[in-house]
């Protein structure tokens, strides 16, 4: 979610919630499921059987143009292959971009404003016809059509002419900034340098779509598969999705997807408690079942902890996500850095973590970037308060600011399923109270809360917020939050502090030019540390995700890119 246009931000606003849902689950640190790789479930994985997926959220809009990313839940990437994809390995190794339909992750020109890809030989659709570069160009172009909106917005902002293009149904000429000189070559021409283009090429808009088979909004009923599975049933707009093998998929062209089961049966719209109970009992078809969007809660984890066999079937995932306290410096007294620093010192992260579900479900944070190398994590704590807060330091700063009897309002969501919940707000209230700050809580229904916090005009002065990245890098994490050019006055605004620092903006542009992702990561980490000095936010915690899986499921892989069990790797007994 970086460098977004106004329209893009409105789309992305929904995406943040999607990332949390499909990844209330999603990625960020060492994987400690206790069952990894071939060892998970015992024995070597073999082909065959049916894998059942039990989810809360339906797999709606099953069209590569409309899906935000192939990562959420992993189901789309079983059907839609893209130019690049994520490395399907545990933990940090899973944050790497690797080739998928393409022979490599892309070849940039000198200033990273042009990227060239060559398709592998022998690629075929489910009907046996060949996949070519024109199909990928067309698949991308149709994602610009208004009736197929919902996907990731980057290409609209990055491609030359992308901001004005309305899709192939209205503009038959297509995008001149996507060139296909032959059947296996595709070239992208960008408005500005984008060293992380290979990450964007993992998103479902890069899946090939044969123009002759396109049925517009009805394409989702039977999209043409380029992956190891094809859709044979889609009921209730994704509530029941059944996938079977694509006979023309070849593992010789696909090093990432194992495709062990013969059938994937995705059942959604289920209550989370029911899902966890079914996985816990693990009887009948549920013995070969997983979930990609339903987390275990504190009470369920406590029960599981006393059962070693059950505990061995819990996968742990981390996602690039940070929950934090946001300030709007346009509102007094948060325009005073001393007040913001005082609050930073007063926070009791132990009580906040407990309110978020305990140390098994949340890790305390003092940096905005999550603790992953891929993001460029650089350790810092500009306002060291220990694990329980430094009330004395906070009081001293408030005295300097002339705010010894400070009363403020903290706005939060009333939705208890989210980590901006009343429990977290109460923990903040109690910690600040010890520093002499009276905190009044303002709870809003979740939609009203989001409308408030994403408004540059009406945002409260002090509120709970959260941010997750579309790919494992500091770019989509820091740019939307601190790039002054991304402040939106009449739409969804993620730069809560409304920071518009020319030096910060310039550094973001300079990092975007880098195609050396390791060097870019270091620069993102340094930028995080630099912006952190201004106390524009108070990082609270990074969520951790715990998921049960059935007793007959093996080959568990949970990467730090998605944080969810990768069903492209799973085998069933």
What is the sign of the dihedral through the CA atoms of 364, 367, 371 and 375? Answer: positive
Helix (H) or strand (E) holding 572: strand 571-572
Together in a domain, 128 and 81: yes
Question: For residues 69 and 12, what is the distance between their CA atoms, to the nearest angstrom?
Answer: 11
Would 498 be classed as within a structural domain? yes
**What pLDDT was estimated at residue 42?**
52
Would 299 be classed as within a structural domain? no
Would 206 be classed as within a structural domain? yes
Together in a domain, 514 and 494: yes
Question: For residues 40 and 570, what is the distance between their CA atoms, to the nearest angstrom?
Answer: 10
Question: For residues 439 and 452, what is the distance between their CA atoms, to the nearest angstrom?
Answer: 19
pLDDT 10s digits, 267-319:
999 999 999 999 999 999 999 999 999 999 999 999 898 899 999 999 999 98
Together in a domain, 558 and 456: no
**What pLDDT was estimated at residue 154?**
92
Neighbouring C-beta atoms of residue 12, cutoff 10 Å: 25
Helices (H), 184-331: 197-200, 272-281, 298-305, 308-311
- SS3 of residue 432 by DSSP: helix
Confidence (pTM): 0.89
pLDDT 10s digits, 53-103:
999 999 899 999 999 865 445 899 999 999 999 999 999 999 999 999 999
Together in a domain, 445 and 555: no
**What pLDDT was estimated at residue 323?**
96
Together in a domain, 241 and 337: no
Question: For residues 164 and 144, what is the distance between their CA atoms, to the nearest angstrom?
Answer: 9
Would 140 be classed as within a structural domain? yes
Question: For residues 380 and 506, what is the distance between their CA atoms, to the nearest angstrom?
Answer: 23
Would 302 be classed as within a structural domain? no
- Torsion angle (degrees, nearest 10) of CA 45, 47, 48, 49: 30
- Containing domain of residue 63, as a range? 31-266+549-572
Indicate left, alpha or beta for 3 from its phi (over 0: left) and psi (-120 to 50: alpha): left
Tell me 102's DSSP state: B
**What pLDDT was estimated at residue 9?**
38
Together in a domain, 406 and 258: no
Would 467 be classed as within a structural domain? yes
The CATH number of the domain holding residue 478 is: 3.10.105.10
CA 466 to chain centre: 12
What are the b/e assignments for 493-526, b being 16+ CB within 10 Å? bbbbbebeeeebbebbeebbebbebeebbbbbbb
Over pLDDT 90: what percentage of the chain?
85
Q: Assess contact for 542 and 322: CB atoms under 8 A.
A: yes
Q: Assess contact for 268 and 240: CB atoms under 8 A.
A: yes
Q: Assess contact for 245 and 229: CB atoms under 8 A.
A: yes
CA 405 to chain centre: 40
Question: For residues 327 and 333, what is the distance between their CA atoms, to the nearest angstrom?
Answer: 10
What are the b/e assignments for 265-293, b being 16+ CB within 10 Å? bbbbebebeebbebbbebeebbbbbbbbb
The CATH number of the domain holding residue 256 is: 3.40.190.10
Together in a domain, 351 and 423: yes
Q: Assess contact for 529 and 348: CB atoms under 8 A.
A: no
Bridge partner list, 537: 326
The most distant pair of C-alpha atoms in the chain lies apart, rounded to whole Å, by 74
Together in a domain, 501 and 567: no
pLDDT tens for the 573 residues of the chain, in order: 433 333 333 333 333 333 333 333 333 222 333 344 333 445 689 999 999 999 999 989 999 999 986 544 589 999 999 999 999 999 999 999 999 999 999 999 999 999 999 999 999 999 999 999 999 999 999 999 999 988 888 999 999 999 999 999 999 899 999 999 999 999 999 999 999 999 999 999 999 999 999 999 999 999 999 999 999 999 998 999 999 999 999 999 999 999 999 999 999 999 999 999 999 999 999 999 999 999 999 999 998 988 999 999 999 999 899 999 999 999 999 999 999 999 999 999 999 999 999 999 999 999 999 999 999 999 999 999 999 999 999 999 999 999 999 999 999 999 876 676 899 999 999 999 999 999 999 999 999 999 999 999 999 999 999 999 899 999 999 999 999 999 998 888 999 999 999 999 999 999 999 999 999 999 999 999 999 999 999 999 999 999 999 999 999 999 999 998 999 999 998
* DSSP string covering 114-182: EEEEEBPTT-B-TTSPBP-HHHHHHHHHHTTSGGG--S--HHHHHBTTTTT---TTT-TT--TTEEEEE
Together in a domain, 71 and 204: yes
Would 456 be classed as within a structural domain? yes
Together in a domain, 217 and 335: no
Together in a domain, 60 and 192: yes
Would 285 be classed as within a structural domain? no
Q: Assess contact for 49 and 55: CB atoms under 8 A.
A: no
Mode of pairing for the β-strands spanning 321-327 and 571-572: unpaired
Question: For residues 6 and 11, what is the distance between their CA atoms, to the nearest angstrom?
Answer: 9
Rounded (5°) CA angle 127-569-241: 55
CA 248 to chain centre: 31
Q: Assess contact for 206 and 77: CB atoms under 8 A.
A: no
Question: For residues 496 and 344, what is the distance between their CA atoms, to the nearest angstrom?
Answer: 16
User: Count of domains in the chain?
Assistant: 2
**What pLDDT was estimated at residue 69?**
66
Question: For residues 530 and 566, what is the distance between their CA atoms, to the nearest angstrom?
Answer: 35
Bridge partner list, 267: 54, 240
Question: For residues 423 and 44, what is the distance between their CA atoms, to the nearest angstrom?
Answer: 44
Together in a domain, 219 and 363: no
Mode of pairing for the β-strands spanning 289-290 and 50-54: parallel
């Amino acid at each position: 979610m970086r460098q977004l246009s106004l329209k893009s931000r409105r789309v992305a606003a929904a995406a943040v919630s999607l990332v949390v849902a499909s990844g209330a689950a999603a990625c960020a640190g060492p994987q400690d499921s206790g069952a990894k790789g071939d060892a998970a479930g015992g024995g070597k994985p073999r082909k065959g059987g049916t894998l059942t997926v039990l989810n809360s959220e339906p797999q709606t809009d099953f069209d590569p143009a409309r899906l935000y990313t192939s990562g959420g839940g992993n189901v789309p990437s079983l059907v839609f292959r893209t130019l690049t994809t994520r490395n399907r390995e545990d933990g940090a190794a899973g944050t790497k971009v690797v080739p998928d339909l393409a022979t490599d992750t892309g070849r940039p020109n000198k200033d990273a404003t042009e990227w060239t890809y060559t398709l592998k030989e022998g690629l075929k659709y489910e009907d046996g016809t060949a996949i070519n570069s024109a199909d990928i160009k067309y698949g991308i172009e149709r994602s610009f059509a208004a009736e197929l909106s919902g996907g990731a917005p980057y290409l609209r902002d990055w491609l030359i002419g992308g901001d004005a293009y309305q899709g192939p149904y209205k503009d038959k000429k297509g995008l001149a900034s996507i060139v296909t000189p032959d059947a296996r070559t595709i070239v992208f021409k960008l408005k500005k340098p984008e060293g992380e283009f290979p990450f964007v090429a993992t998103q479902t808009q890069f899946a090939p779509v044969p123009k002759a088979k396109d049925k517009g909004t009805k394409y989702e009923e039977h999209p043409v598969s380029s992956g190891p599975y094809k859709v044979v049933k889609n009921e209730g707009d994704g509530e029941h999705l059944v996938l079977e093998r694509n006979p023309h998929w070849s593992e010789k062209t696909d090093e990432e997807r194992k495709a062990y089961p013969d059938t994937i049966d995705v059942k959604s719209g289920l209550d989370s408690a029911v899902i966890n109970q079914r996985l816990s009992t693990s009887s009948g078809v549920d013995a070969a079942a997983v979930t990609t969007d339903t987390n275990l809660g504190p009470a369920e984890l406590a029960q599981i902890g006393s059962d070693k066999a059950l505990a061995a079937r819990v996968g742990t995932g981390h996602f690039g996500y940070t929950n934090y306290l946001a300030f709007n410096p346009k509102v007094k007294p948060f325009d005073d850095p001393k007040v913001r620093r005082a609050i930073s010192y007063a926070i009791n992260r132990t009580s906040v973590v407990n309110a978020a579900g305990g140390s098994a479900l949340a890790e305390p944070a003092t940096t905005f970037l999550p603790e992953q190398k891929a993001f460029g994590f650089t350790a810092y704590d500009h306002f060291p308060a220990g694990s329980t807060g430094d009330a004395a330091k906070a009081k001293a700063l408030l005295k300097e600011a002339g705010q010894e009897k400070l009363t403020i309002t903290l706005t939060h969501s009333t939705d208890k399923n989210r980590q901006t919940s009343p429990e977290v707000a109460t923990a903040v209230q109690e910690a600040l109270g010890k520093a002499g700050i009276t905190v009044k809580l303002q709870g809003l229904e979740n939609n009203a809360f989001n409308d408030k916090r994403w408004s540059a005009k009406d945002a409260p002065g002090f509120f709970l917020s959260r941010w997750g990245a579309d790919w494992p890098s500091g770019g989509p994490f820091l740019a939307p939050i601190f790039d002054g050019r991304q402040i939106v006055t009449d739409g969804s605004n993620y730069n809560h502090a409304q920071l518009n620092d020319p030096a910060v903006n310039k550094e973001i542009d300079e990092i975007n030019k880098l195609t050396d992702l390791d060097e870019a990561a270091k620069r993102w980490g340094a930028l995080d540390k630099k912006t952190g000095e201004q106390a524009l936010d108070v990082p609270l915690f990074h969520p951790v995700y715990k998921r049960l899986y059935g007793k007959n499921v093996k080959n568990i892989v949970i990467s730090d890119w998605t944080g969810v069990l990768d069903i492209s790797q799973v085998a069933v007994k």
